[in-house]
Structure 1
Amino acid sequence: MLNLGPSPSRFDPEQPQLSPERARVLEAMQRRDSAASVGDIARELNLHENTARKHLDGLVDRGLIARTTGVSVGRGRPARSYSALPRSTEPDARVREYVGLATALARHISTTSDDPRRDAIAAGETWGAELVQDPRGKHRGKGKTLLELLDRLGFSPEADATGDSIALRRCPLLDAVRAEPVVVCAVHLGIARGVVAALGEDPEPVRLEPFSEVGACRLHVA
């Protein structure tokens, strides 16, 4: 079974970046809530099994996923299964501290506000407006500017063919979302609305569907 919602934005300065193909394998593992075989991943990503095995074992060596070896039955190598490690474990202490602060602020809004979602959206709108510092953004257009800023914030956005909606493939505050989903998701919605408003366009059509599909949240901008 696959998990809904985006993957976390991870940063580890001590490790080289994953190749695009190996990153795809890691994303596929992180979308699962149960173990997978080499064949499962090979079929899902249209890879040769030897290639899938190489990437899975490489991720095991990096400590990003776990490998379990079954009991050998008959000839051939024992069956191996792979599973994602808990995604709440952030390898970078600096990011953990930032997420901890974000969680504390979200919890404060949640417990002191008479309308946490409204106040979280308002906070995000302020943040989003401040992100639009380059006046040339108005000439680049709403869609391109929003994509650039969301990418800079670590959301790995992907616009659909029409440009009316954006898949947010990663979440820079995924651990905080798990603790305070209403508030943190509302802040993210507010960021998008704040950007759109700062560009002189109507922010009302902008809406966010958190954890609405496999591997992403969906941001509608029109």
Structure 2
Amino acid sequence: MTTAQATGYSAISSYSRVELMHLLQQRPQRTIAELTEATGLHANTVREHLQRLIDEGYVVAVTERRTTRGRPRVLYSAADGTAASSPVQRRRVRAAAERGDLMRRVMPASTPITLDTEALHQLDAIVDDLVDSGFDPIVDEDDLSLELTPCHQAQAQAEHLEVLCQVHLSIMQGVLTEAGGPLRVEGIRPSCDPTECVVLLSHAGRPAQ
């Protein structure tokens, strides 16, 4: 893990980018002007933050199609793996699956693997994204959970914890959707410590726990 990852530095380590992600997850296809008004940030600052999020595969930018005169606007949406699919995220998902397959061939599991290939590839993708975001996730394939404790970002942004968690969960769901398969994000296991975070997943082929 790099120094940047160890300190939790990522595309959403800045609350301004968390806020932008939250706005785009709530309503896609927003313009720079709309995001500037909603956040109070300067337009150039918004552009810089959005470019960072695009580079990480979290945001997708498209140019609107106009039937009238005038310069077409650029519309920004949070990558969700369906309506807004990021080419960056697609490449990362494929690369994570390839690495995961290689590791499973080189280092066979000590216990039988109970998940299907699509679900394994989804886990490969989400773990890869979490590591890049500064986490060291502990995966429980039987319990279908991801332990992200300690959450450095929760400690640094304690006053914005609810929005931060919502943004994280939506990003994780977008990665799972882009990877394609039966796994979905269900939520966070309740805890009295806001820095403790266990994300719960569900499998379409398994009964709810």
TM-score range, shorter chain: 0.3 to 0.5
- Higher gyration radius (CA): 1
Calculate the TM-score normalised by the size of structure 1. 0.42
Greater relative contact order structure (CA < 8 Å, 6+ sep): 1
Calculate the TM-score normalised by the size of structure 2. 0.44
